[in-house]
Structure 1
Amino acid sequence: MELKQIVENWVATFNRGDADAIAEFYCDNAVNHQVANDPIVGKDAIKQMFASEFATADMFCIVENIFQDGQWVILEWKDPIGLRGCGFFQFENELITFQRGYWDKLSFLKANNLPIPQ
């Protein structure tokens, strides 16, 4: 399967808010580093991160662009309220080994009426 298609499937799973299913896209020792947060290491920890995030806020990803270059896929996204971001996914054997995401955490927290850390 094209890695670009795997990211499209990842987005569909993300939009369902299914932490168990989204964890299956990652290898056991994957790293997910959303640059506004500390890196999360390991498939189980990534699953817990998504479970917590899905329980905290309604999130929905609208794909603007997906680009593939070798083992890397770049996702440009927005959400229904206009927040935008970019994600980079590195793959090995069709599993995500590394993910880095760039987005505005302060705008996200304010838009979802979540507490702002001091």
Structure 2
Amino acid sequence: MTAKDVMLAWVEAFNRRDADTLVNLYHPDASNHQVAAGEPVVGRDAIIRDARGFFAAFPDSTTKLEAMHQDGEWVMIEWSGGATWRGEFAGRRPNGKTFHLRGCGFFQVVGGQIRFQRGYWDRAGWFLQLGIPVE
């Protein structure tokens, strides 16, 4: 599987909200650093916990691949997406509000698995759309 194939499979699994398939695209010791969220999430167990939590909170979440660029084992994507808040998130009860975001991600794909991921998106804009105080 090429790095580009892995990314297309990642987007497909994300849009199905299929945490099990999604996490199997990661190396067992992978690191996912969503910069706006804080510290990196390391390892498949932590990555699947985050994915399951996100999909439970936003069961209609989708992402649209706006652009993808590959340079060797690195794939860079630009994306847009959104969802409706339906489950507990950030220690808060859902309120049914929707959000739409744009962002970008950088993925290092080694041996057909995501070894490292870093994402950039607007946390303040996201939380304001959901009615969550920006801290």
> Per the alignment, in what secondary structure is the counterpart of residue 64 of structure 1?
strand
Aligned AA (1:9): A
Q: Give 1:114 shift.
A: 5.5
TM-score (norm: length of structure 1): 0.90
Match of 1:46 in 2: 47
Aligned AA (2:23): A
- Which ranges in structure 2 are unaligned for 5 or more consecutive residues? 83-98
1:90 aligns with 2:96: no
**Farther-moved stretch of structure 1 (94-103 vs 48-57):** 48-57
Max Rg structure = 2
> Per the alignment, in what secondary structure is the counterpart of residue 36 of structure 1?
helix
Counterpart-to-counterpart distance in 1, 2:54 and 2:128: 15
**Farther-moved stretch of structure 1 (88-97 vs 51-60):** 51-60
Q: Give 1:4 shift.
A: 0.9
Match of 2:128 in 1: 110
Q: Aligned match of 2:71 in 69, 72, 77?
A: 69
Counterpart-to-counterpart distance in 1, 2:131 and 2:110: 35
Matched-pair identity in % = 43
1:18 aligns with 2:18: yes
Q: Give 1:116 shift.
A: 3.0
Deviations 1:60-112 (A, max 9, x none): 1111111100110001011256521000000111100000000011222233x
1:7 aligns with 2:16: no
Counterpart-to-counterpart distance in 2, 1:117 and 1:83: 16
TM-score (norm: length of structure 2): 0.80
Give aligned pairs, total.
117
Counterpart-to-counterpart distance in 2, 1:53 and 1:103: 15
- Which ranges in structure 1 are unaligned for 5 or more consecutive residues? none
Q: Give 1:50 shift.
A: 0.6
Note closer, same or farther for the CA distance 1:51–1:114 as it changes in structure 2 (3 Å cut): farther
Counterpart-to-counterpart distance in 1, 2:20 and 2:124: 27
